[in-house]
Chains A and B, each alone.
Chain A
Amino acid sequence: MSETTHDGGVALGAAPSPDEGLTAAELAAKYGLSVSGARPALMEYVRQLWGRRHFILAFSQAKLTAQYSQAKLGQLWQVATPLLNAAVYYFIFGVLLKASRGLDRSTYIPFLVTGVFVFTFTQSSVMAGVRAISGNLGLVRALHFPRASLPISFALQQLQQLLFSMIVVFVVTIAFGSYPGLSWLLIVPALVLQFMFNTGLAMILARMGAKTPDLAQLMPFILRTWMYASGVMFSISGMLAGKPEWFIRLMQANPAAVYMDLIRFALIDGYGASHLPPHVWALALFWAVAVFAGGFVYFWKAEERYGRG
């Protein structure tokens, strides 16, 4: 603490103050001022985040609406986009390639469509997560809010997008002869767990992407590799039949595969429990809790550093 510090406001000629001679830190302590931009404790952070829940929801909905606001058909694209996607996959895999990979056709088409949408949910959450901070620096540098609001909000936007896609999934599934039953209710816990997993992953990548924006260029390749390894277009248990048991189990423990298989199992009559790995719900729960909690703490650790340019 040097004298020059007092050059500005503290130095008093006319009105001597009892505060004179105090260092900045002592003065701050005396009047109960706190350090600006310091990272709050974990529980306090959770509380702040909860206080911002309306913002998180409104922001995700606004992003979702803004997406199609320039199109003539407007919000109809929310359903039309996944429907067209499903049609393309049906054309290529169902008509051209006649690829059913050990499943009969009435199972394969809903199997494929479900897989594509459920994987896309994780994929787009990850991509949005990478750019959650680095793509919104203007917001981060202008307003105060717990930064985790951003990746969570983007994951929530993808969840809403997925709910539109699920309408298409239901139509396709019914069209191929699997009718709604009690087992359909299982998609609720499965999607909740997948959403937790996605949010955790989005937070991890948001922190990494904030430091290294180049990740946004790299991620598509990693995600495509992940997609092919997760059995989106084929059944892992069918495709790898004859390979060592531990290898199949390892492939099936992949979180993306776990969530996809759970939802397929819930919806499609021809896709029975024999396709699921043992302890599949425990696996789903483990991935969700571990990645969400880990991702949250990892993101919070750098809270005060986001926005440095």
Chain B
Amino acid sequence: MAEQNTAQGAARAGERVPTVIADELHIVYRVNGAKSGKGSATAALSRIVGRGKDDAKRGVRKVHAVRGVSFVAYRGEAIGLIGSNGSGKSTLLRAIAGLLPAEKGKVYTDGQPSLLGVNAALMNDLTGERNVILGGLAMGMSREEIKSRYEEIVDFSGINEKGDFITLPMRTYSSGMAARLRFSIAAAKDHDVLMIDEALATGDRKFQKRSEDRIRELRKEAGTVFLVSHNNKSIRDTCDRVLWLERGELRMDGPTEEVLKEYEKFTGK
């Protein structure tokens, strides 16, 4: 199945320059005190007293989220990641971004891949205005860059369409408005390798359309784009190659149509 997978991309790109190489990548989460499913005092005590390096004996449960995934992504590719819930898609993205340390194997990247998303850096108690600045700085933009893009970000989010909301704290926003502002901030930066985690599903129909356009734009500027989504349509619209993860393993890797057909058969659609 992997035979002519990337030939299409190669033809388009001329010379194929790899931007992301995953080599037998394993990611393991460790959860404290989850051995018996309850964090009882005796369990905690036995964890401390328990001898040896063996994690299982010390009541630390391992979750093997990504198991030996290997692939090479090339410049100019837009790659969709699909799979059922908990199949390791988001974990794989974070590992590529270097945000989660690998248990085994390695990820090589060209430049610094970035996740599209600044949610964690924003504070609900601050005004939209200050969040734009804070979010921009958190993504590594300079103050001048943010200043020059500020209007663009606010206009794109459409927050001010219904009055002067940008000077109000974010906690006063509706969930849709907040999601739109978050996407607008996140999408303001250009990236070498861009990773988008189900960002398309935010906002109303009009905003979804606008964000899809923006992602296409980002795709043109970015070297390589990864998109995680449960919406097969947006994968079809944006991606030319798809990785299908199931239980942390790479089940299929190929052109969008081919993989999606198998995937839809698998999910019974």
Docked-complex contact A54 and B143, CB < 8 angstroms? yes
Question: In the assembled complex, which residues on chain A have CB atoms less than 8 Å from the CB atom of B98?
Answer: 36-38, 144
Docked-complex contact B99 and A142, CB < 8 angstroms? yes
Which residues, 108 to 130 on B, are CB-close (under 8 Å) to A?
108-110, 112-115, 117-121, 123, 125-126, 130
**Residue A273 at the chain B interface, CB threshold 8 Å:** no
**Residue B250 at the chain A interface, CB threshold 8 Å:** yes
Interface size of B in residues (CB-CB distance below 8 Å):
64
Q: Which 9 residue pairs are nearest across A and B when measured between Cβ atoms?
A: A37-B98, A24-B23, A28-B108, A8-B71, A14-B7, A9-B72, A36-B98, A138-B120, A13-B3
Which residues, 15 to 58 on A, are CB-close (under 8 Å) to B?
15, 17, 19, 23-25, 27-28, 31-38, 51-52, 54-55, 58
Q: Do most interface residues of chain B lie in helix, strand or loop, or is the interface mixed? A: mixed
Question: In the assembled complex, which residues on chain B have CB atoms less than 8 Å from the CB atom of A59?
Answer: 121, 134, 137-138
Docked-complex contact B23 and A55, CB < 8 angstroms? no
Question: In the assembled complex, which residues on chain A have CB atoms less than 8 Å from the CB atom of B73?
Answer: 9
Docked-complex contact B121 and A143, CB < 8 angstroms? yes
Q: A14-B7, A36-B108 are in contact. Are A7 and B70 (CB under 8 A)?
A: yes
Q: A5-B23, A9-B71, A24-B106 are in contact. Are A145 and B140 (CB under 8 A)?
A: yes
Question: In the assembled complex, which residues on chain A have CB atoms less than 8 Å from the CB atom of B29?
Answer: 308-309
**Residue A229 at the chain B interface, CB threshold 8 Å:** no
Docked-complex contact A143 and B18, CB < 8 angstroms? no
Interface size of A in residues (CB-CB distance below 8 Å):
53
- Show the binding face of A for B, using Cβ within 8 Å: 4-15, 17, 19, 23-25, 27-28, 31-38, 51-52, 54-55, 58-59, 62-63, 65-66, 69-70, 136, 138-145, 304-305, 307-309
Q: A144-B114, A309-B29 are in contact. Are A54 and B142 (CB under 8 A)?
A: yes
Q: 19 A-B pairs, CB-CB below 8 angstroms?
A: A5-B23, A7-B250, A11-B2, A11-B3, A13-B3, A14-B3, A17-B16, A28-B18, A28-B108, A33-B21, A36-B107, A37-B102, A55-B138, A141-B94, A142-B119, A142-B120, A143-B121, A144-B112, A308-B100
How close is B14's CB to chain A, nearest CB, in angstroms?
11
How close is A68's CB to chain B, nearest CB, in angstroms?
9
Q: Roughly how many angstroms separate A4 CA and B140 CA in the complex, as a whole number?
A: 37
How close is A304's CB to chain B, nearest CB, in angstroms?
6
Question: In the assembled complex, which residues on chain B have CB atoms less than 8 Å from the CB atom of A144?
Answer: 97-99, 112, 114, 140
Minimum CB distance partner of A15 in chain B: B10
**Residue B30 at the chain A interface, CB threshold 8 Å:** yes
Q: Which of A9, A32, A58, A307 has a CB less than 8 Å from the CB of B100?
A: A307
